[in-house]
A and B are shown apart, each in its own frame.
Chain A
């Protein structure tokens, strides 16, 4: 069961990588990075479930917040404002 689920999510990650590689503008690449971060949160949580490692859920929470901060920084860069504005 676990190998099937991880294979499906890895296919999703490769589709995100395709969009990051081919994206016509910077905004497309930013969207791809955001969605790939969210996919990694799901993969980490499922790893914690299958191998019964509770500390990986802490890593999952941290990944969520870091993905949020990274996306906000990219959005501010796209809007041509400085980071402390």
Chain B
């Protein structure tokens, strides 16, 4: 009974992995790309880890998969946040369809939205 559930969760993880990388290619600027591709981590690779734990149970491989999933869940949002703040301070412009930029107004002095080029 456990084994088909594990395979279904692994396939969901692979599906989200490929969707995240397609979003990495298709979206218009850095912030949209990062927002799309962090789904790769929390649903994609973490899904693969949970599926491996369900398939292998409390064997060494299953416990290591759980530990790896915990590390992913702890480290990946921190890395994504640091990368986004770093790219804002580096001066990467937001997409020209962006509505509001509160962080740029408060911390960087003026909106960082890219101007419409005619």
- A residues contacting B by CB (< 8 A) are 5, 8-9, 11-13, 15-16, 18-19, 25-28, 30-32, 34-35, 38-39, 41-42, 45-46, 48-49, 52, 54, 57-58, 60-61, 64-65, 67-68, 71-72, 74-80
Query: A5 is contacted by which of B14, B37, B85 (Cβ under 8 Å)?
Result: B14
- CB-nearest residue of chain A to B62: A57
Q: How far is the CA of A41 from the CA of B52 in the complex (A)?
A: 13
- Count of CB-CB pairs between chains A and B under 8 Å: 148
Query: A64 is contacted by which of B59, B71, B90 (Cβ under 8 Å)?
Result: B71
30 contacts across the A-B interface (CB closer than 8 A): A5-B10, A8-B18, A9-B18, A11-B21, A25-B30, A25-B87, A27-B86, A30-B86, A31-B34, A32-B24, A34-B37, A34-B83, A38-B45, A41-B68, A42-B45, A49-B52, A49-B56, A54-B61, A54-B64, A57-B61, A57-B68, A58-B64, A61-B64, A61-B68, A64-B68, A72-B82, A74-B86, A75-B82, A78-B90, A80-B90
